[in-house]
A and B are shown apart, each in its own frame.
Chain A
Amino acid sequence: MDISAWIEKQHLTRQIVIEKKPFHHLLLKNFLREHKAAILKKALCKEPFFQKETDLLKFKQSHDFYSTQNKQLHPAYDFFRSPQLISFISKITKTKLSSQKISIAGSLYEDSDFLLCHDDQLEGRKIAFMYYLSTLEPQQGGALELFSSHQGRPLKIEKRYYPCYNTLLLFTVSPTSFHQVQEVIKAQRLSLSGWFYG
């Protein structure tokens, strides 16, 4: 897999800075080449989304790409799970990752959808990622909010990132990677999200 056919050149050549507070994360704006992002969005929009609702969340999610029947998503799935991309993610996050496994699915938040505070910790998850396929203004909500913590508990929201089209956001999963997705207000928030494993 030639990932330079997918990723904007600047990300492959320049030094990428890891934000350390409230926990390690980084943001890659204009991550994919424009036509790849457009094709991916078009393919994802054809995918069926299923309502998920619990005490902690309300939004729609596609099947994991592992089981998708949508052939138009296969190239993107092959890209995200390629050893070359995993090696790139491993390098920029300074985290040892397994090239055997990733999870990736589409998420769709519509009016009044939300995801409350949690840490994402589950066996083997090392790096969480979100790749945004829509842009939301602050009045439309949908921001990823990162919490500072004290004695292993979330304290207050320290960083807030509003979805921005073609942006990849990565963070290290840890016992204190507390985060949430702000309620979406009269808008649609489409993204890919998942985890790289160790």
Chain B
Amino acid sequence: MDKLQETLQREGVVQLQQFLPEKELAILMEKIKLLKFIRSYKPLTHYYTSAVLPVSDLKGLFSFLKVLGMRITRARAYKLRWKNYSVLHDSIKQREYREIILDLTESWEESWGGACIYVDDSGDYQKIPWAYNSVMVIEKKRAQRFFQYCNHYAQERLVVIAQVQREER
């Protein structure tokens, strides 16, 4: 856990692969299936469908966060298909990102787009690679995030992004 904390502080990103046990993964997928996904299209900023995922649905799945002194405050599930994207519009300011990304996409090719990319204040890009059932922990002081445009080869991409907060010690 110390190594995880150290990497997070140094890189701003830590990936944990094959994260959820099969049973928990199946239960979470059932819960996500029941969510009400809403399409949102604002041409200058984004086009995707998403749904609020109650924090209670994630209870017990990310116990490592507690050790890191973090807790989930809210979560949203995103579905990305052909023509979906989000961009770094001038109106969207750089801000602190402290979040986790749970990748629930069973099959995906990098060439289809759809990657989640963080851009920090020095202009450096950090692309979050696709990995089924992986969790990325992201902690960046000043950044912007976007989803690459999904091209006509893309199937459906499903990710959960949860905002986390550091707890007062």
Contacts and interface: CB of A to CB of B under 8 A. Distances in A.
Q: In the complex, which of the residues A55, A56, A153 has the most CB atoms of chain B within 10 Å of its own CB atom?
A: A55
B153 interface: yes
A154 B151 contact: no
A154 B44 contact: yes
Interface residues of B, number: 17
B153 A112 contact: yes
Contact of B87 (A55, A141, A153, A154): A55
Given A55-B87, A55-B88, A55-B117, A114 B149 contact: yes
Given A153-B44, A154-B43, A180-B43, A116 B151 contact: no
Contacts of B153: 112
Nearest to B149: A114
Contacts of A154: 43-44
A58 interface: yes
A170 interface: no
Size class of the A contact interface (CB-based, 8 Å): 10 to 19
A185 B44 contact: no
A58 B87 CA distance: 13
13 contacts: A55-B86, A55-B117, A55-B146, A56-B88, A112-B153, A114-B151, A116-B43, A116-B85, A117-B44, A147-B43, A180-B43, A183-B149, A185-B152
Which 10 residue pairs are nearest across A and B when measured between Cβ atoms?
A117-B43, A112-B151, A154-B43, A55-B87, A55-B146, A55-B88, A185-B152, A56-B87, A117-B44, A114-B149
